Amino acid sequence: MEGILPLFKPAGLTSHDCVFRLRKILKTKKVGHTGTLDPDVTGVLPICIGKATKVAEYITDAGKAYEGEVTIGYSTTTEDASGETVEQKPVTRMIDREEILHVFQSLSGEIEQTPPMFSAVKVGGVRLYEYARKGIEVERPTRKVTIYSIELLDDRFEFIGETIKFKFRVSCSKGTYIRTLAVMIGEMLGFPAHMSYLQRVQSATYTLEDCLTFEEIENHMQAGTISGVLRPLETAVSHLPKLLINDKVAEKVKNGALLQMPDHLKTINGPIIAETDDGLALAIYSEHPNKPGLLKPVKVLRNNVD
């Protein structure tokens, strides 16, 4: 069994819980997820099966899109609805649509974020949430992330009340904390805030429309049709620059050979997919660190032993 299974992750399960459950349903151990989603978060979680586990990192590194809700008026320990209240400040003035849009514009592009204490980031070899559970506050590394777009989904023109809520959609880079983004939105409006709802609607090329529930996956297993809903490994790397190769070169690629860097890829810094004319992904290459003009294989996806 090989391919990408876009799972609709329900609330209440960790990403690891989903992998554990799918190993039982699919009756295979070679199953991996493509980036942690908090238990309360629902939505797109691409699952890699069999040989496709080799490309999990390229899905993880690709952009994501979320739809969420910000609640303005109080903050929480976890920066989402599951935490205890930290600070309350009633919204005593009207906040209009233009003010929110101005904040969104200010948060677009490259921004800096400090991961929340309740997160999986490691400091000193220990995950932050382990410190947080013990009541220990540690210095956290600030990271740069990119907000490609952020839009207001609520069509109201005025927002008023002791607490106010509005929904948004954001497209962002790997490593962006949407919980922290919600807190930042509140701070820029002058009030404590938290993320009260979140759903991932896209991960790399996979969207909500592609996703299957656990029940649907079980039904396909029982009917013997599971292979028909698995996405090819190639869909996980379709966003990468391509180097098309002929059959003769393909045999060399399967054995991990170095390749000449073609002119049209000389400005590419990241990974490149070596692909046959009929669309079969054979290996991931990158610029050779010591030999100018050559490409070095990072990962062979298919070889003659497979």
The set of catalytic residues is 38
- Beta strands, E only, the chain: 3-9, 31-33, 42-49, 64-72, 74-76, 85-88, 95-96, 109-113, 122-123, 126-127, 143-152, 158-159, 164-172, 193-203, 206-207, 242-245, 259-260, 272-276, 281-287, 294-300
Contacts of 223 (CB under 8 A, 6+ apart): none
Q: Give me the amino acid identity at 103.
A: V
CA distances from 262 to 40, 221, 240, 259, 290 (A): 46, 44, 15, 9, 17
Q: Which two tokens stand for residue 184?
A: 């930042």
Straight-line distance from the first to the last Cα atom of the chain, in angstroms, rounded to the nearest whole number: 13
Cα distances (Å, whole numbers) of residue 175 to 61, 63, 66, 178, 297: 9, 10, 13, 9, 26
189/26 Cα distance (integer angstroms)? 48
d(CA 215, CA 95): 43
Q: Measure the CA–CA gap between 94 and 183, rounded to whole angstroms.
A: 19
CA 16 to centroid of chain Cα atoms: 15
Across the strands, what pairs with 244? 275
